[in-house]
Amino acid sequence: MSSPRSGIPHYWVALRAMLVLTAVLGVGYPLVITAVGQLALPAQANGSTVTVNGDTVGSALVGQSFSDADGNLLPQWFQPRPSAAGDGYDGGASSGSNYGPENADLIAAIEERKAQIAEFNGVTPDDIPADALTASASGLDPHISPEYALLQVERIAAERDLAVEDVRALVQSHIQARDLGYLGEPTVNVLQLNIAVEALKA
Amino acid sequence: MDVFFAILQVASLVLILALLYRPLGDYMARIYTSRKDLKVERGFYRFIGVDSGVEQTWQSYLRGVLAFSVVGLLFVYLLQRFQAVLPYSLGLPAVPEGLSFNTAASFVANTNWQSYSPDLTMGYTVQIAGLAVQNFVSAAVGIAIAIALVRGFTRRESATIGNFWVDLTRGILRLLLPLSVLGAVVLIASGVIQNFNGFTEITTLSGGIQNLPGGPVASQEVIKNLGTNGGGFFNANAAHPFENPNAWTSLFQNVLMLMIPFALPRTFGRMVGNHKQGYAILAVMGTIYVASLTFLTLFELNGAGTAPQLAGGAMEGKEQRFGIFASTLFGSTSTLTSTGAVNSMHDSYTSLGGMMPMINMMLGEIAPGGVGSGLYGMLVLAIIAVFVGGLLVGRTPEYLGKKIGPKEIKLASLYILVTPTIALLGTALSFAIPAVRADVESTSIWNAGTHGLSEVLYAFVSAANNNGSAFAGLTANTPWFNTALGVAMLLGRFIPIVLVLALAGSLATQDKVPATAGTLPTHRPQFVGLLLGVTVIITALTYFPVLALGPLAEGLQ
């Protein structure tokens, strides 16, 4: 008793089935979904890009670095989290550090960041939140915690000759609540905050 | 306050799954018991040369599964080897032989272990026409096997257990494809990308250069979760903002991973004609799920270990938008199903936290497990449990009206030995063969000491149980790991399938025996407790020694 019609071997059935299924699931399906995305939801389907004065400066979803070519943090910009994607926020090499909790390199890196961020912002090391000291899972985390954003306010105000209160109010207005009010964590989108702070001086 | 949000998050997930349980479970039962073919299905059967009205013996059913999987393996292998001449390959070269074998085995075995970084290795054509196709079909194969086993219980004196080609086709066309289309649109609306743009170079706000990736991501993301496959379009998997842009999509992906495995007990209950049997299985799955999630969340929240303590929280390898709670929820769901997707890096979890995904996989992926594989794994354990119950009272065990004789017990016992043997043997050989050990220690292991052992153990447990997640610091793109893990994935997938189909065939040939006063009821809390106990004890006895050498040693020092 066999389900393929008599005389047709299983592998021949399998080969034909795989060809049809590849055409349907591997070509037809993604093309239909792409058509729906491009026609009905083009902004999202193409990466939620952000433009300033007509120029695309990034994606609202993907973090970017605010360092100079040598990797030094630029003091006039709100700084994102440390990144393990390539040399930092490499859009072609998403990755976490994968350091374990007892890894000596990670422990040294956290100590170094702690000292550096404290000095950079003129705060005590104990005030620095965990997200500022740790690399994200993707290396492309677009967000920082509200605490880390607020911690950078005085530095930004001084660097840009802005009133501390104005910058703080700007950060407060950029704190995104949890999704639907209860999912995930409150965040601040670094790119959008930096676009806003750049506009503030005008 | 934070804990309140965490509980609300889990509660909404439970509510959604509870609402889906009956309609989805009943729908799946109808799919696999209906005698009618759709018009499009009739055309498909004609083209591939199958008579949908004829059922198969378990041996013939198995030959269909194996033939289909071998063809799939060759397809995915060849697509990778010819990547250089395929369209939309982003200029990437052919994938090397060893890696191509590993990846083909991985996706055909519903594992989606990735020895490679997709960002740098796979063009769009290989992803959509090779990998995503296997995401659909390997999931449909898993459900088909589970349904065949359930038929073993429902049939009386039957030589056949269904028709593989019909089960495969219906699972894809009536279940996975329609749900994927809906889910993909939801994901795009929520920010997941879907294009063929390749990389776009942009000048960042501060004047730097960034290459933003493109890709047909949403169409793959949905089936990767729905089919409990787990292979990421990007290296960072569901931590990548283009795969999983916010905490809402993360919850939605949890639903996708869990909806079919948690609804299959309903399908089972309906097919055997007793919904309480389904609820008993569901209760065991649900209890393990909640317990495991609670442990992982507490470990990560506690943030033990030198680095998390120094940083003030276990945020290494976690995204700010997810935080601890949405990360541990995803990590638990992904490793308790056989998905293996990640939205946080398990390698960077606290020592005891990192042990939880391993334990989840070591349980055999049954709470609720992969699509189909979770149900058949749990039913095998149920057979072991009624056997243990029978030993206690000195009576021939029965389950669902079928006598559990020597043949059934042998098959079930072999089943529960397969994956631990592969996982532990693979880990042991990695250190026992001198040349391999030197390579593993110098090239592959990323974190020194006990954590390095955990990385290797995690890899083999993940491969043998067809999960696919990793302690991703491990460099697995080496001849040893590509070969050993590839073999582990194939054996870990297909030996259990052979045993389950043999079991289905054996059960189907039996007549039903009427339940008597001495029959152990398998729909009551007592049996739920027994099954829970059997599951935990088997896993604990098998794996405790090696856990003591890895994560326990690291976490308790």
CB pair distance less than 8 Å for B219 and A47:
no
Does residue A132 share a domain with residue A83?
yes
Decide: B292 and B339 in contact? Cβ < 8 Å: no
Residue-wise pLDDT for B426-466, tens only, equals 999 999 999 999 999 999 999 999 999 999 999 999 999 99
In this structure, what token pair is assigned to residue A187? 């965040």
CB pair distance less than 8 Å for B5 and A99:
no
pLDDT for B395 equals 82
Distance CA A62, CA B196 (A): 18
Structural domain contains residue A5: no
Q: How confident is the model at residue A89 (pLDDT cuts 50, 70, 90)?
A: very high
CB pair distance less than 8 Å for B322 and A184:
yes
Q: What's the structural domain count of chain B?
A: 1
Give A-chain residues touching B131 at CB under 8 angstroms.
none
Nearest to B110 by CA among B87, B136, B90, B129: B136
**Peptide linkage before B368 cis (omega within 30 of 0):** yes
Structural domain of B383: 376-556
Q: What is the ipTM of this complex?
A: 0.96
Helices marked H in B433-476:
434-439, 450-464
In this structure, what token pair is assigned to residue B260? 């079919």
pLDDT for B88 equals 94
- Give yes or no for residue A1 having a pLDDT over 50: no
Q: Answer whether 0.90 is exceeded by the pTM.
A: yes
Range B496-518 average pLDDT: 95
Does residue A59 share a domain with residue A19?
no
Q: Tokens 């532990």 belong to which residue?
A: B424
Distance CA A123, CA A147 (A): 12
Does residue A162 share a domain with residue A133?
yes
Does residue A190 share a domain with residue A105?
yes
Structural domain of A24: 10-42
Q: How confident is the model at residue B360 (pLDDT cuts 50, 70, 90)?
A: very high
Lowest mean pLDDT among A117-131, B192-206, B401-415, B513-527: B513-527
Q: What's the structural domain count of chain A?
A: 2
Structural domain contains residue A84: yes
Q: How confident is the model at residue A7 (pLDDT cuts 50, 70, 90)?
A: low
Q: How confident is the model at residue B550 (pLDDT cuts 50, 70, 90)?
A: very high
Does residue A172 share a domain with residue A104?
yes
- Give yes or no for residue B49 having a pLDDT over 70: yes
- Give yes or no for residue B517 having a pLDDT over 90: no
Range A75-93 average pLDDT: 96
Does residue A128 share a domain with residue A36?
no
- Residue A73, strand partner residues: A67
Structural domain contains residue A2: no
Residue-wise pLDDT for B197-216, tens only, equals 999 999 999 999 999 999 99
Structural domain contains residue A178: yes
Q: Which amino acid is at B213?
A: P
pLDDT for A164 equals 97
**Percent of chain B whose predicted confidence (pLDDT) is above 90:** 96
In this structure, what token pair is assigned to residue B380? 């095998």
Structural domain contains residue B513: yes
Does residue A19 share a domain with residue A34?
yes
Structural domain contains residue B498: yes
Give B-chain residues touching A90 at CB under 8 angstroms.
210-211
Structural domain contains residue A114: yes
- Give yes or no for residue A202 having a pLDDT over 60: no
CB pair distance less than 8 Å for B136 and A25:
yes
Structural domain contains residue B344: no
Q: Which residue of chain B comes nearest to A147, CA vs CA?
A: B320
Distance CA B348, CA B366 (A): 25
In this structure, are strands B402-403 and B398-399 parallel, antiparallel, or unpaired?
A: antiparallel
pLDDT for B394 equals 84
Decide: B372 and B143 in contact? Cβ < 8 Å: yes
Residue-wise pLDDT for B105-163, tens only, equals 999 999 999 999 998 899 999 999 999 999 999 999 999 999 999 999 999 999 999 99
Structural domain contains residue B484: yes
Structural domain contains residue A148: yes
Does residue A60 share a domain with residue A99?
yes
Residue-wise pLDDT for B235-290, tens only, equals 999 999 999 999 999 999 999 999 999 999 999 999 999 999 999 999 999 999 99
Does residue A56 share a domain with residue A28?
no
Does residue A88 share a domain with residue A29?
no
For chain B, what is the mean pLDDT? Answer: 96
Q: What is the Cα A6 distance to its own chain's centre?
A: 57
Structural domain contains residue A4: no
pLDDT for A6 equals 60
Q: How confident is the model at residue A5 (pLDDT cuts 50, 70, 90)?
A: low
Does residue A71 share a domain with residue A25?
no
Structural domain contains residue B507: yes
Structural domain contains residue B158: no
Residue-wise pLDDT for A22-44, tens only, equals 999 999 999 999 999 999 999 99
Structural domain contains residue A14: yes
Does residue A114 share a domain with residue A26?
no
CB pair distance less than 8 Å for B133 and A22:
yes
Q: How far is A40 from chain B (nearest CA, A)?
A: 9
